[in-house]
Chains A and B, each alone.
Chain A
Amino acid sequence: GQQVMQIPQYQHVQEGEDFTTYCNSSTTLSNIQWYKQRPGGHPVFLIQLVKSGEVKKQKRLTFQFGEAKKNSSLHITATQTTDVGTYFCAISSGSARQLTFGSGTQLTVLP
């Protein structure tokens, strides 16, 4: 089945620094979703990207879908302690009605 590689696995930043996590696939994706899971919590949907080269913003979060629809990134500007958690990308493709999650990037924000 389809797989997606997510890097980095861990990221520690000082509060106020920026953060980026990347997801890469060897095959063309129909869409990609991003989720955030707080420590001890459950994944919460952030956004879905569908179009080639799409860029979406949610306050300090910027999501991008590559031109070839094989990669995506999530960028957080000026991190805050509330950004702590694990960020996952998730893919589905074609008629496969199942989500394959990346391994996640665990973000720690140091005050």
Chain B
Amino acid sequence: KAGVTQTPRYLIKTRGQQVTLSCSPISGHRSVSWYQQTPGQGLQFLFEYFSETQRNKGNFPGRFSGRQFSNSRSEMNVSTLELGDSALYLCASSLRVAGGMYNEQFFGPGTRLTVL
């Protein structure tokens, strides 16, 4: 079974630009979560999508948004980039059990975003 894939793997942008990152979950996984990882703040939850709907959102500004398609693939968008947005953006997919606890997350390799 193929793992979680993320594209692109590396990205360099300048302040004020916007960026779109893509994530393809493991086949059969309908839940996709996004995380930001930085040396200073660690791993922080951005949002979770399930059945094309955002189910949970972390404490990030509205510049961070996402969406999920009918095939469970997900994209996240960051508008008006700031220097502090430089980070590794990780996508994770999981089997979501209705009413159940959080299942194990299968992480992709991440997209390394550098904002200059």
Residues on A facing B (Cβ under 8 Å): 1, 30-31, 33, 35, 41-45, 48, 50, 88, 90, 92, 96-104
Contacts and interface: CB of A to CB of B under 8 A. Distances in A.
Q: Which among B44, B56, B102 has the highest number of chain A CB atoms within 10 Å?
A: B102
A88 B102 CA distance: 16
Interface string B40-78: 001111001000000110110000000000000000000
A98 B33 contact: yes
Interface of B: 33, 35, 42-45, 48, 55-56, 58-59, 90, 92, 101-110
10 contacts: A42-B107, A43-B43, A43-B92, A45-B106, A90-B43, A97-B56, A97-B102, A98-B102, A99-B105, A104-B43
A92 B58 CA distance: 13
Given A42-B107, A42-B110, A43-B90, A96 B56 contact: yes
B104 A48 contact: yes
B105 A45 contact: yes
A44 B43 CA distance: 13
A104 B39 CA distance: 11
